[in-house]
């Protein structure tokens, strides 16, 4: 009766890693309990988690081959494009969000076009727009640019609108920090940069005012929703953004946060279930409306069993 924060499956988004082929599952070593799956299995997974009350999934693609520009990212029959169509066919009510970033598709693992040891901001925008457009054409409801290039939200909005994809929303990874907590994901998506790091485009963990500026710019450029990533070490950022802006706010409970809990849980250092529910409730209490988490499926199952 006096509880202030109530977590619901409706707050959760489940990320899925899609690889090519059919009926193929490949467990991800760095993320116990999470696997790379094919489009057909993703559609099946979606019908199960939709029944648990999870409204949306976030898709990442691991293409069969990579190149310097990441051309696999905007193929009409690319891994993510195929999965979007399969999911929409099987579970039309599932909201499909796609991650828009080149790092899973480039041979060098950077999130944009590379020249020498530099990532070129403006040359990358055109490629991101092609990617977002092909996701939207395949049926994605929301595109989520995670590359952190400047000006990409406005650029994508213009391109989507001119392709008459006016109903596709943009969830901007606005305050995305250059974080050690992405380690397990880079193993999952095979996307670790082959040289340097992402500090020239992702944010310094020491900065909070910069997060406010990034969010303001993304909203001005047309973002429908904004995101803070990672979540746990950045609860103060979530709260500041919630207090200052009125668009829906997502928080990404990232791979390292997930794997840390799984490792501690299987080592019996922590009560895994209680830890997960405390973490997710705290992210919501901090001000997130939407929580993207690899725990989504297990948490929704616990919540719907009313334990």
- For residue 9, the minimal CB distance to ligand PBG (Å) is 20
| Catalytic residue positions, numbered | 176, 229
Q: Which residues bind ligand PBG (CB under 6 A)?
A: 99, 101, 103, 111, 146, 182, 185-186, 198, 254-255
In the complex, the smallest distance separating the C-beta of residue 167 from ligand PBG, rounded to whole angstroms, is 24
End-to-end Cα, the chain, rounded Å = 17
Q: Which residue is nearest to ligand PBG (CB)?
A: 185
Coil, strand, or helix at residue 126? Answer: helix
Dihedral sign, CA of 93, 167, 248, 246?
negative
Which residue, 45 or 257, has its beta carbon nearer to ligand PBG?
Answer: 257
Is the CB of 190 or the CB of 305 nearer to ligand PBG?
A: 190
> What's the closest the beta carbon of residue 203 comes to ligand PBG, in angstroms?
11
Minimum CB distance to ligand PBG smaller for 74 or for 182: 182
Nearer to ligand PBG, 102 or 300 (CB): 102
Residue 241 burial (C-beta neighbours within 10 Å; 0-12, 13-18, 19+): buried
Q: Which has the closest alpha carbon to 217: 145, 128, 132? A: 145
Tokens of residue 163, six digits:
């392709």
DSSP for 228-275? EESSGGGHHHHHHHHHH--S-EEEEE-HHHHHHHHHHHHTTSS-HHHH
Taking the least distance from each CB to ligand PBG, the nearer of 123 and 163 is 123
CB closer to ligand PBG, 16 vs 165: 16
What is the separation of C-alpha 160 from the centre of its chain, rounded to a whole number of angstroms? 20
Q: What is the CA radius of gyration of the chain?
A: 18
We find the least distance from the C-beta atom of residue 292 to ligand PBG, in angstroms, to be 8
- Smallest distance from ligand PBG to CB 144, Å: 8
Place of tokens 């490629």: 127
What angle in degrees, to the nearest 10, is found between the helix axes of 235-244 and 209-221?
50
> In this structure, are residues 61 and 71 in contact, taking their beta carbons and an 8 Å threshold?
no
Alpha-carbon distance of 298 to 300, in angstroms, equals 6
Least gap, CB of 46 to ligand PBG (angstroms): 19
């Amino acid at each position: 009766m006096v509880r202030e924060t109530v977590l619901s499956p409706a707050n959760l988004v489940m990320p899925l890693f899609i690889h090519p082929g059919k009926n193929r599952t490949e467990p991800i070593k760095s993320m116990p309990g999470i696997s790379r799956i094919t489009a057909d299995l993703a559609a099946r997974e979606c019908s199960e988690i939709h029944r648990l009350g999870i409204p949306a999934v976030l898709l990442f693609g691991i293409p069969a081959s990579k190149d310097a520009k990441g051309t696999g990212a905007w193929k009409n029959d690319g891994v993510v494009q195929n999965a979007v169509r399969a999911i929409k066919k099987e579970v039309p009510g599932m909201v499909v969000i796609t991650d828009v970033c080149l790092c899973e598709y480039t041979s060098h693992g950077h999130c944009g076009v590379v020249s020498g040891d530099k990532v070129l901001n403006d040359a990358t925008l055109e490629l991101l727009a092609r990617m977002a457009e092909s996701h939207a054409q395949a049926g994605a409801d929301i595109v989520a640019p995670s590359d952190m290039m400047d000006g990409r939200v406005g650029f994508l909005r213009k391109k989507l609108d001119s392709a008459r994809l006016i109903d596709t929303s943009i969830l901007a990874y606005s305050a995305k920090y250059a974080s050690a907590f992405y380690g397990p994901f880079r193993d999952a998506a095979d996307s670790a940069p082959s040289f340097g790091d992402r500090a020239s485009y992702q944010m310094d963990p020491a900065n909070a005012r910069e997060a406010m500026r990034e969010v303001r710019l993304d909203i001005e450029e047309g973002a429908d929703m904004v995101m803070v990533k990672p979540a746990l070490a950045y609860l103060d950022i979530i709260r500041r953004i919630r207090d200052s802006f009125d668009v829906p706010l997502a928080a990404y409970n990232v791979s390292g946060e997930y794997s840390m809990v799984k490792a501690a849980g299987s080592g019996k250092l922590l009560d895994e279930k209680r830890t997960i529910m405390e973490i997710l409730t705290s992210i919501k209490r901090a001000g997130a409306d939407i929580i993207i988490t690899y725990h989504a499926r297990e948490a929704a199952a616990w919540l719907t069993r009313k334990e």
